[in-house]
Amino acid sequence: MIALGIETSCDETAVAVVEDGFAVRANLIASQVHLHERFGGVVPEVAARAHVESLNPLLEEALAEAGIGFGEIDAVAVTTGPGLVGALLVGMAAAKAVSLATGADLVGVNHLEGHYWANFLEHGRPSPPYVSLIVSGGHTMLVHVPEMFRHVVLGQTLDDAAGEAFDKVARLIGLGFPGGPALDAMAREGDPHAIRFPRAMEDSGDYDFSMSGLKTAVLRHVKAEQAAGRDLHLPDLAASFQEAIVDVQVTKAIAAAKDVGAPTLLLGGGVVANTRLRERLAGAGAQAGIEVLFPSMALCTDNAAMIACLGSARWARGERSSLDTAADPQLRLTA
Ligand code: KG4
Ligand code: ZN
């Protein structure tokens, strides 16, 4: 069974070919980072236009790399949300065109569900229940997956997503866009306990998150140091900020897994590429007797292999989307 995956929810144009659900035959990404860099963030119209330009050549390239023709595709899996509406529409139009022209089935999937499915491409598929921690540029969320394809959202961020906080603090200290990876690298040279930033909602007794207090605390620290005429020690600042985010994520994710009795914690989303988060969660999981799975770096950030993998499984249980399926920028995980 051959699935084509198409992902255009934000600023990466991605196409993949996956065989029998889990064997990746091609996984290509055209990054738009260079186009958004000078704006300091993703510009939706620029993203949509760049998807239009990149998608067809990328599609041809993916099929060539997989060594297949359009006629061999059984299912076209495409992200229908959440994401930027104009960006989503480009991928969906292409997926519908392939489906209509070749007779392959169209399967619309949720981007966030795809993020934790990335684990199954590399680690097999342990049996549920799971708790999934999804941390990306747009989301910070803890989800209970009592059985395959069923989701109960345990909590989420009340303001900024973790990736957004990384990007904003990185910009504040001059690290460019997207700042997450640069901040991660800088933090490795610093002391995570140098500055005590607030751990927002760490003891709130629920599974919600908040980043705004931390962001303000970092800004206040920078201003106070500047006012006092002291040089900022950027690696210490980066490491201390990162530690504050990571502490809360680790505490809540492990507590959630224990709470619902899930033996497996599945991580997904761009922020899971963070070295410290991976290291700390692996340690905390080992201590708590919880299996913590995270995708390799390339499968943490947006990609189409995870979309094709999830689409294959949904196709196998008979799911099909009609050609009039709409993009849904706020798409929720189905209960
Ligand atoms: O999942 P993703 O590729 O796109 C969304 O669906 O949002 O996540 C992108 C986010 C960006 O905010 C980026 O700065 C962050 O993931 N990110 C990181 C790291 N690598 C990517 N944040 C912290 N540390 C990293 N190593
Ligand atoms: Zn994503």
pLDDT at 172 (0 to 100): 94
Same domain, 219 and 294: yes
Same domain, 228 and 312: no
Give yes or no for residue 83 CB within 6 A of ligand 1. no
Which CATH number do you get for residue 270?
A: 3.30.420.40
pLDDT at 149 (0 to 100): 97
Residue 148 structural domain:
127-298
Q: How far is the CA of 289 from the centre of ligand 2 (A)?
A: 28
Location of structure tokens 């607030």: 198
- Is 226 within the bounds of a domain? yes
- Is 250 within the bounds of a domain? yes
Same domain, 251 and 304: no
| Atom of ligand 1 at shortest range from CA of 139 | 7
Give yes or no for residue 271 CB within 6 A of ligand 1. yes
- Is 189 within the bounds of a domain? yes
How many distinct helices (H) and strands (E) make up the chain?
A: 11, 10
Same domain, 290 and 178: yes
Location of structure tokens 């958004």: 36
* Model confidence at 309: pLDDT above 90: yes
Same domain, 46 and 110: yes
Number of domains within the chain: 2
Q: How far is the CA of 268 from the centre of ligand 1 (A)?
A: 10
40 — pLDDT class (breaks 50, 70, 90): confident
Same domain, 283 and 165: yes
pLDDT at 38 (0 to 100): 87
* Model confidence at 203: pLDDT above 90: no
Give yes or no for residue 137 CB within 6 A of ligand 1. yes
d(CA 76, CA 38): 34
Q: What is the pTM of this model?
A: 0.96
69 — pLDDT class (breaks 50, 70, 90): very high
The pLDDT tens digits for 117-135 are 999 999 999 999 999 999 9
Q: How far is the CA of 335 from the centre of ligand 2 (A)?
A: 20
The pLDDT tens digits for 244-256 are 999 999 999 999 9
Give yes or no for residue 81 CB within 6 A of ligand 1. no
- Is 240 within the bounds of a domain? yes
DSSP string, 166-187: HHHHHHHTT--SS-HHHHHHHH
169 — pLDDT class (breaks 50, 70, 90): very high
* Model confidence at 196: pLDDT above 90: yes
41 — pLDDT class (breaks 50, 70, 90): confident
Same domain, 162 and 286: yes
